[in-house]
Amino acid sequence: MFYDYRLKFSKNGPIRFVGHLDVMRYMQKANRRAGLPMCYSEGFSPHQILSLALPLSVGATSDGEYLDMRLTKEVLPDEIVNRLNEVMHEGIRAEACILLPEHAPKAMTLIAAARYRLTLRDAAFSGNPDGRISHNTDKERSLAAEDLAARLHTFLSQDRIAAVKTTKKGEQTIDLKPLIHEWEVAEDGALTAILHAGSRDHVKPALLYETFFRSIDRAFSPASLAVHRIDLYEEVPGENGVFRPLIEM
């Protein structure tokens, strides 16, 4: 007998530099410290049965990460949250947990979209491609900053946004427009958007900004984009284009 749970967690602070695989290792160790009755694979190196919904790029923060995990005993979801938070002080916090029905599909197969808040770090305003130190004068910088919101707005309002996606097969031109489900540009240039996500037509925030920077004829360094993931969504069954968070709070 086993019980499948879906855990929602946030990842903020310096731990944002810890990559996807290391977050998996971190969660396994946290589960052990919390004394949760985890389900293990067979063999000489047993490992926990876990899967992360969607990798998050190194350096990005998030309030909506999801982990599916299998336990051997039923534990109250709130207790899982509390027990994990007692042993996690590194910037990852359990936010919510649900017990999944039997044979529920995995989070990674459900993912349809992700909401992000995207901002540019100072270096990007200068268009400095190695993203290191801005040598620009204040005047140039403030001009660019002021411009950013308007330019982003124009860019996203186009009917078609042609982007060059590099895949294993080579370069491919795709239209990003239908994959941007919702967007809003704040006065300071911060973009909040729901982007298509998952195994098909996944849109990385960096691709969107790379395309934007190309459209205004500037160099772009992925390190200059500050990515914050707000939540991950599945499509509401039967309702095309309607999304809901993997765990509704």
Partner 1 sequence: MFAADRLALSDELLLSVEKPERYIGGEVNSVIKDIKAVDVRFAFCFPDVYEIGMSHIGIQILYGLFNSYPDVWCERVYSPWHDLDGVLRKNRIPLFTLESQDPVRDFDFLGFTLQYEMCYTNVLQVLDLSGIPLLSEDRTDDDPIVIGGGPCTYNPEPIADFFDLFYIGEGETQYRRLFDLYKAHREKGFQRSAFLRECARIPGIYVPSLYETEYHEDGMLAAMKPRFPDVPAVVHREIVTDLSHAYYPESPLVPFIKVTQDRVALEVMRGCIRGCRFCQAGQLYKPLREKSLEACKESALAMLRSTGHEEISLSSLSSSDYSHLPELLDFLIETAGREHVNVSLPSLRIDAFSLDVMSKIQDVKKSSLTFAPEAGSQRLRDVINKGLTEEDILRGAHEAFLGGWHKVKLYFMLGLPTETEEDIAGIGDIANKIAVEYFDTVPKEERGGQSVEITASTSFFVPKPFTPFQWAAMHTQEDFLNRAKMTKQGIMAQLNQKRIRYNWHNADESVMEGVFARGDRRLSAVILDAYRDGCMFDAWGEQFHFDRWMAAFEKNGLDPAFYYLRERSDDELFPWDFIDIGVTKAFLLREWKEALAGRKSANCRERCLGCGAARFGVGVCVR
- Residue 20 as a binder of partner 1 (CB under 8 A): the answer is no
Does residue number 144 form part of the binding site for partner 1 (CB under 8 A)? no
CB 108 to partner 1: min, Å: 22
Q: Is 184 in the site for partner 1 (CB under 8 A)?
A: no
How do beta strands 162-167 and 170-175 pair? antiparallel
- # residues contacting partner 1 (CB under 8 A): 39
Sign of the alpha-carbon dihedral angle for 116, 82, 249, 1 = positive
| Structure tokens given for 227 | 């990515």
Ordered alpha helix ranges (H), the chain: 20-33, 77-87, 107-110, 122-125, 138-157, 205-215
Q: Choose, by CB under 8 A, the member of 224, 228, 243, 246 that binds partner 1.
A: 224
Sign of torsion, CA 209 214 218 219? positive
Residue identified by tokens 């990003």 is 176
d(CA 237, CA 29): 35
The verdict on 87 binding partner 1 (CB under 8 A) reads yes
The closest alpha carbon to 226, from 199, 198, 188, belongs to 188
Binding residue (CB under 8 A) for partner 1 from 2, 13, 73, 162: 13
Q: Is 73 in the site for partner 1 (CB under 8 A)?
A: no
- Using the rule CB under 8 A, which residue among 3, 10, 24, 26 binds partner 1? 26
Question: Which residue(s) pair with 51 in the sheet?
Answer: 68
CB of 119 to partner 1, least distance (A): 11
Of 73 and 121, nearer to partner 1 (C-beta) is 121
What residues line the site for partner 1 (CB under 8 A)?
A: 13-15, 17-19, 22, 25-26, 28-33, 38, 40, 43-47, 58-59, 87, 89-91, 121, 123, 130-133, 221-224, 226
